[in-house]
Amino acid sequence: MKRILLTICVALAALAVSAQGTFSRKDNILSLGVGIGEHGVPLDLKWEINVLDGICKGKGGIGVGAATGLNFDDRFMLAAQANFHYEFVDNLDTWAGLSLGGDFKYDDGFYFGAQIGTRYYFVEHWAAMVEFGYGLSFAKIGFTYKF
């Protein structure tokens, strides 16, 4: 069982590069980003809280939260998110995760997304962010505030 867990941690770490202390237990993060998507240029807001840390030799953590996005063609998305964070480099938080929610512009109404991203903390509570994935946007840049 330990080997399987270690293999999963290493595989997830390959998708992520992060820093110790950048996303600790009960930390809240709020991110605002602008992206490039299939339907134009979306603006999105994301909130996440760390619910589990100290996994994978004390450097990993799990965050859950919500994401919402609005495209300029009035496409609106609201989703729950779960992300795995791993800490490698000081001031750099990186994650990989999944999103599940609703798309309120189109008839199907179902939204599923996957994302990987990183944020660099240039001061204690503020970071620049980049995220890639499948969802409302394929790529986005923005800022994060940690509280």
Number of domains making up the chain: 1
Question: CA–CA separation, 71 vs 132, rounded Å?
Answer: 17
pLDDT top residue among 122 and 19: 122
Range of the domain at 117: 2-146
- What is the residue-wise DSSP string for 85-113? EE--STTEEEEEEEEEEEESSSTT-EEEE
Place of tokens 């619910």: 51
Q: Which helix (H) or strand (E) holds 3?
A: helix 2-15
Question: CA–CA separation, 106 vs 47, rounded Å?
Answer: 24
Q: The CATH number of the domain where 32 resides is what?
A: 2.40.160.20
pTM: 0.77
Binned at pLDDT 50, 70 and 90, residue 65 comes out as: very high
